[in-house]
Amino acid sequence: MPHVFSTCGAEHARRIGIELVEQLRNGESDLMNSLDLARWQFAITTVYHFIFVPITIGLGFMVAGLQTAWYRNGNLKYLRATKFFGKLFLINFAIGVVTGIVQEFQFGMNWSSYSRFVGDIFGAPLAMEGLLAFFLESTFLGLWIFGWDRLPKKLHLASIWLASFGTLLSAYFILAANAWMQHPVGYILNETKGRAELTNIVKVLTQNTALATFTHTIAFAAFTSAAFMAGISALLIVRRKDIEMSRVTLKLGLIVTIISFVGVGVTGDINARIMTEQQPMKMAAAEALYSTTDSAPFSLLTVGSLDGSRSVFQIGLPSMLSFMSTGDFNGVVEGVNDLQAQYETQYGPGDYTPNIPLAYWSFRLMIGFGALGLLFALIALWQMRKGGLPSGRWFKPAMLSLPFLPLLANSFGWIFTETARQPWAVFGLIRTSDGVSQVVSAGAVLFTMIVFTILYGALAVIEFGLIRRVIHLGPLDEVDYADPQLGGSDSKQLVASY
Amino acid sequence: MTFQTVWFLLIAVLWIGYFVLEGFDFGVGMLLPTVSKNEADRRAVLTTLGPVWDGNEVWLLVAGGATFAAFPEWYATLFSGFYLPLFLILVALIVRGVAFEYRSKYGKAQWRQRWDIAIVISSALPALLWGVAFANIVRGVPLEKASSGSIEYVGGFFNLLNPYALLGGVVTLSVFYTHGAVFLALKTAGTIRERANSIALKAGLVAAVAAVAFLVWTNLMLAEVNSTVLILSVTVALLWVAGLAMNLKGREGWAFIFSAGTIATFVSTLFFALYPRVMPSSLGSQFDLTITNASSTDYTLKVMTVVAVVMTPLVLLYQGWTYWVFRKRVSASQIVNPERGILDELSHTLHL
d(C-alpha A65, C-alpha A460), whole Å = 28
For residue A190, pLDDT over 60 is answered with yes
What sign does the dihedral A462-A464-A467-A471 (CA atoms) show?
Answer: negative
pLDDT-derived band at B141, boundaries 50, 70, 90: very high
Summarised one tens digit per residue, pLDDT across range B159-172 is 999 999 999 999 99
In chain A, residues with a C-beta closer than 8 Å to the C-beta of B77 are 112
Buried b (16+ CB within 10 A) or exposed e, A36-49: bbbbebbeebbbbb
Please state, in angstroms and rounded to a whole number, the distance separating the CA atoms of residues A401 and A230: 11
Q: Rounded to an integer, what distance in angstroms lies between the CA atom of residue A464 and that of residue B15?
A: 35
pLDDT in tens, A215-239: 999 999 999 999 999 999 999 998 8
Question: Would you tell me which residues 150-169 of chain A have a C-beta closer than 8 angstroms to some C-beta of chain B?
Answer: 150-151
Q: How many CB pairs under 8 A join A and B?
A: 272
> Cβ B72–A119 below 8 Å, yes or no?
yes
Taking only the tens place, the pLDDT of each residue in B222-260 is 888 899 999 999 999 999 999 999 999 999 999 999 999
Supply the pLDDT for residue B107. Answer: 86
Residue A434 Cα distances to A31, A116, A328, B145, B148, angstroms: 10, 11, 38, 17, 10
Query: Is A138 within 8 Å of chain B by CB?
Result: yes
Contacts of residue A383, Cβ cutoff 8 Å, sequence gap at least 6: A389, A390, A391, A392
First-residue to last-residue Cα distance in chain A: 53
pLDDT value for B336: 82
* pLDDT per residue as tens digits for the range B142-163: 999 998 889 999 998 899 999 9
Average pLDDT of the residues in B326-351: 77
Which positions in chain B touch A126 (Cβ < 8 Å)? 65, 68-69
Indicate whether B18 pLDDT > 90: yes
Contact across the interface for B303 and A198, Cβ inside 8 Å: yes
Assess whether pLDDT exceeds 70 at residue A108: yes
Contact B79 A123 (CB under 8 A): no
pLDDT of residue B223: 82
CB of A450 within 8 Å of a chain B CB? The answer is: no
Q: Which one of A115, A131, A149 would you mutate to disrupt binding with B, by most B Cβ within 10 Å of its Cβ?
A: A131
Three-class SS of chain A: CHHHHHHHHHHHHHHHHHHHHHHHHHCCHHHHHHHHHHHHHHHHHHHHHHHHHHHHHHHHHHHHHHHHHHHHHCCHHHHHHHHHHHHHHHHHHHHHHHHHHHHHHHHHHHCHHHHHHHHHHHHHHHHHHHHHHHHHHHHHHHHHHHCCCCCCHHHHHHHHHHHHHHHHHHHHHHHHHHHHHHCCCCEEEECCCCEEEECCHHHHHHCHHHHHHHHHHHHHHHHHHHHHHHHHHHHHHHCCCCHHHHHHHHHHHHHHHHHHHHHHHHHHHHHHHHHHHHCHHHHHHHHCCCCCEECCCEEEEEEECCCCCCEEEEEEECCHHHHHHHCCCCCEECCHHHHHHHHHHHHCCCCCCCCHHHHHHHHHHHHHHHHHHHHHHHHHHHHCCCCCCCCCCCHHHHHHHCCHHHHHHHHHHHHHHHHCCCCEEECCCEEHHHCCCCCCCHHHHHHHHHHHHHHHHHHHHHHHHHHHHHHHHCCCCCCCCCCCCCCCCCCCCCCCCC
Which pLDDT score is estimated for A300?
A: 72
Mean predicted confidence (pLDDT) in B49-75 = 96
The C-alpha of A357 sits at a distance from chain B's nearest C-alpha, in angstroms, of 33
Res. A3: pLDDT tops 50? no
pLDDT digits 0-9 by tens, A402-421: 999 999 999 999 999 999 99
- Is the predicted pLDDT of residue A485 greater than 60, yes or no? no
Tell me if A497 and B51 make a contact (CB, 8 A cut-off).
no
Q: Report the alpha-carbon distance of residue B143 to residue B131 in Å, rounded.
A: 20
User: Which residue of B44, B62, B102 is in closest CB contact with A466?
Assistant: B102
B94, A104: Cβ pair inside 8 Å? no
Q: How many CA atoms lie within 13 A of A289 on its CB side?
A: 29
Per the document, the length of chain A is: 498
pLDDT tens string A250-288: 999 999 999 999 999 999 999 999 998 999 999 999 888
| Contact A301/B at CB under 8 A | no
Q: Name every chain B residue with its beta carbon within 8 A of the beta carbon of A99.
A: 94
Which of B213 and A395 is assigned the larger pLDDT?
B213
| Mean pLDDT within A25-35 | 61
Q: Let me know how long chain B is.
A: 352
C-alpha pair distances (Å), B60 with each of A56, A214, B54:
21, 26, 10
* Residue B70 contacts A, CB cutoff 8 Å: yes
Query: What value of ipTM does the predicted structure carry?
Result: 0.93
Could you give the CA distance from residue A147 to residue A142 in angstroms, rounded to a whole number?
8
Rounded CA separation B229/B275 (Å): 10
Res A19: pLDDT = 59
CB contact under 8 A, A105 and B62: no
Cα A3 → chain centroid? 31
Question: pLDDT tens digits for B171-185?
Answer: 999 999 999 999 999
pLDDT on residue A128? 95
Best residue in B22, B54, B289 to probe A by mutation, most A CBs within 10 Å? B54
The ranges assigned to domains in chain A are 2-279+355-473, 289-353
Evaluate if residue B209 carries a pLDDT over 50: yes
CB contact under 8 A, B347 and A197: no
What does the pLDDT read at residue A312? Answer: 65
User: Do B128 and B177 meet the contact criterion of CB atoms below 8 Å apart?
Assistant: no
Check whether A6 has a pLDDT greater than 60.
Answer: no
For chain A, what percent of residues have pLDDT higher than 90? 69
Residues 76-115 of A with CB under 8 A from B: 83, 86-87, 90-91, 94-95, 97-102, 104-105, 107-110, 112-113, 115
Cβ <8 Å between A444 and B83: yes
* pLDDT score recorded for residue A8: 47
Is B83 an interface residue toward A (CB < 8 Å)?
Answer: yes
Residue among B50, B76, B95 whose CB faces A108 most closely:
B76
CA A334 to CA A327: how far, in whole Å?
15
Tell me the domain boundaries of chain B: 3-141+152-334
Question: Is A28 in CB contact (< 8 Å) with chain B?
Answer: no
- Report the amino acid identity of residue B200: A
Q: Which amino acid is at A438?
A: Q
